[in-house]
Structure 1
């Protein structure tokens, strides 16, 4: 016996739907607790992954004001600037991250968010020089 045809159900992008749900979740937390660092970091990451680069930059800028000596926050700020083609600001934030101790150069070299910045020969030479010092 054959099964009756099933009604067509539209394809739903569950991953995008989940991301939007998570964004809403963290936005509510931030509305109640504006300086909740971990929630801000998660929200900034979600905005960036969802392609909301300006919103990601806004969150990363806010985080850098709350934790100005955190190398990872400065690195993420550099990524946000680079995604928006603000290469000078990206370079400044990346330089600060490195000064503060960021040294995961393998990740840095392969980070698609920094693609615009990493095209610059001066930046590549600088990173190569830092890698030599580290090793």
Structure 2
């Protein structure tokens, strides 16, 4: 096992979050974002960790960054329970729309 492998750390964020260890998930998610600041998934998971830690404003900023970097999983964004506290925010709905547009554009190019 490679403890500094990004794939391992990414799985660890999800595992910590599922176990309710939000501080640990937040720490590892921050490490991943720092290691690869261009990865939209890492930003998305960091947003989830921030939201679960009650840091909603920061979560919204990180979610914006994830979408800007290309996060386009509209279904996951719409149904992820970690982001429930953000769903009533107008900015969240805007990020959903942007993710849907990006996904549509990506799929059009897959012909």
Could you say whether these structures have the same fold, taking a TM-score greater than 0.5 normalized by the shorter chain as the test? yes
Greater relative CO (CA pairs within 8 A, separation 6+): 2
Q: CA deviation at 1:132?
A: 6.3
Q: How does 1:1-135 map to 2 (within 5 A)?
A: 29-30=2-3, 35-124=4-93, 126-130=94-98, 133-134=101-102, 135=104
Using the alignment, how far apart are the partners of 1:39 and 1:133 within structure 2? 30
- How high is the TM-score relative to the length of structure 1? 0.69
Using the alignment, how far apart are the partners of 2:99 and 2:11 within structure 1? 29
Q: Which structure has the greater CA radius of gyration?
A: 1
SS in 1 for 2:44: helix
Using the alignment, how far apart are the partners of 1:132 and 1:46 within structure 2? 27
Q: CA deviation at 1:42?
A: 1.6
Deviations 1:22-63 (A, max 9, x none): xxxx7xx52xxxx32111112111111100011100000000
- How high is the TM-score relative to the length of structure 2? 0.82
| Stretches of structure 2 lacking an aligned partner (at least 5 in a row) | 105-111
Sort the Cα spacing of 1:88 and 1:39 in 2 relative to 1 into closer, same or farther, 3 A. Answer: same
Deviations 1:78-129 (A, max 9, x none): 00011112111101110000010001111101000111111323422x1354
**Is the 1:56–1:80 contact (alpha carbons within 8 Å) kept by the matching residues of 2?**
yes
Cα RMSD, aligned residues only: 1.8
Sort the Cα spacing of 1:94 and 1:62 in 2 relative to 1 into closer, same or farther, 3 A. Answer: same
| Stretches of structure 1 lacking an aligned partner (at least 5 in a row) | 1-25
